[in-house]
Chain A
């Protein structure tokens, strides 16, 4: 089925570990986004990508790394996880950057102990 999938759905890890969250979309959308959702802060943009090999920072990029070697994949890496990065992470994609809705995955619930 076409769509946007995130993996894993749930992850528990320890501080200092490297964690990679995966996002895959089958629509060939140009734009992809990573958000984190926290109580009291709502959804905040971490990074986005306009096309393969083009990425840019969002509102809260510190502590995260992204790459986009292929249009359909947009992994998010926490190089050295901290407790403050415990959150629910959502990936989204859109056909273009303007005037097109973003379509969201089901999220990854990440707990850092």
Chain B
């Protein structure tokens, strides 16, 4: 079941450009996680957002959570080839986070 919808599914940007990836939930969000996956490797935790309106940044990546819209966005500023990979959002469907769903991922390529 697609509890989390990510858009776009894939993205090719020129190095230095900004980009945004969206993650929309069909259910109430009790928090949202962003992960990055390089091809053939495991998932690397990027950020966790818990409260509506919360915004977090790490290096050139910023994530926001809009609880009312049940949506989160991940924004990369001045993209670099090292940002390439698959970005996945994940969220629990209950407060206890005992059951966890992931979006289908957004594949990002950054052209040097």
By the criterion CB–CB under 8 Å, are A50 and B98 in contact? yes
Given contacts A58-B99, A97-B97, A98-B96, contact A42 B48 (CB under 8 A): no
| A43 proximal to B (CB < 8 A) | yes
Interface string of A70-81 (1 = CB under 8 A from B): 000000000000
Given contacts A42-B88, A42-B105, contact A104 B97 (CB under 8 A): no
By the criterion CB–CB under 8 Å, are B105 and A104 in contact? no
Bound state CA distance, A104 and B42, in angstroms? 6
Interface string of A36-60 (1 = CB under 8 A from B): 0000111111001010000010110
Bound state CA distance, A41 and B48, in angstroms? 23
B: interface residue count bin: 20 to 34
By the criterion CB–CB under 8 Å, are B45 and A102 in contact? yes
Q: Give the residues in chain A near B41, CB-CB below 8 Å.
A: 106-107
| B50 proximal to A (CB < 8 A) | yes
- Which of B33, B88, B99 has the most chain A CB within a 10 Å cutoff? B99
Given contacts A59-B1, A107-B42, contact A99 B97 (CB under 8 A): yes
3 smallest CB-CB distances across A and B, nearest first, come from A42-B104, A104-B42, A43-B102
Interface of B with A (CB < 8 Å)? 1, 30-31, 33, 35, 40-45, 48, 50, 88, 90, 92, 95-105
Given A48-B100, A56-B98, list of 5 further CB < 8 A pairs? A44-B102, A45-B99, A59-B1, A102-B100, A107-B40
